[in-house]
Amino acid sequence: MPNTTGRLLLPYILQSQSQKEVTHNDALNILDVLIQAVVQDVGLNTPPGSPTVGQCWVVGSSPTGAWVGKASQIAQAVDGGGWFFVAPFKRLKLWNETTDEYVMFDGTNWVSEGLLLKETGEYLRVEHKTEDVTVNAGAFKDTTIQIPDRAIVLAVNVRVITAITGATSFGIGVAGDTTRYGNLIGIALDSTNIGITSPLAYYANTAIRLTANGGNFTGGVIRTTMQYLKPRGPWTW
């Protein structure tokens, strides 16, 4: 008889075994990590200083401290300041609280659950980036976040989270086409625009430009979100 279950590798309690509670508790810990699995982030190399008991992280490729030798494993904070580790298996899926998305272990790496996933490691991933952009001076403001090189943009959306002053409306686009994703958008609190266009490929990292109409920006905050498709794989650009 094997010592563990075939899939989750839960330890069996064996006949005449001493300290059965240790084996039983290890099995419960594994279930606690894997059932409706949620991690705080993926790819962290340094153990957090003051984790809450029960919180989990996916260990990065170059772990340090108490995580040395545990690359790609799930680390759960336990009582007494220690860690409990669970090795992933292929196709294990969990929720990443930092990026608000599901990630999957492909047998080698943790990857976002994309539209396509092949044994070669190539896949098409739906991604998004969000920034709260302060527009307190000037005729336009470029975002810090950028559309990645070789991304296919589906939409750029905005919401005014602090009322805008100075301008009478604003547009969303990029340098050279400042209204590509919308124009004459209201300046009042909670004004929104869903900027859908035909899918458009970008071949360089590109900021979103917010352009004032009817005067320069003098104040306000605009939440800006870009949504796009990004080919991913074992190669890099």
85/54 same-domain check: yes
Are 135 and 193 spatial neighbours (Cβ–Cβ below 8 Å)? Answer: no
Number of domains composing the chain: 2
58/87 same-domain check: yes
pLDDT of residue 219: 98
Are 155 and 161 spatial neighbours (Cβ–Cβ below 8 Å)? Answer: no
Residue 98 forms part of a structural domain: yes
Residue 121 forms part of a structural domain: no
137/218 same-domain check: yes
CA distances (Å), origin 60, targets 57, 102, 209: 9, 17, 34
**Against a cut of 0.85, is the pTM above it?**
no
CATH number, domain with residue 188: 2.60.120
> Is it the case that residue 195 has pLDDT exceeding 90?
yes
Choice between 105 and 101, residue whose per-residue pLDDT is larger: 105
pLDDT of residue 117: 55
Task: For 127-166, write each residue's pLDDT tens digit.
Answer: 889 999 999 999 999 999 999 999 999 999 999 999 999 9
The β-bridge partners of 159 are: 192, 223
Domain that holds residue 131: 126-232
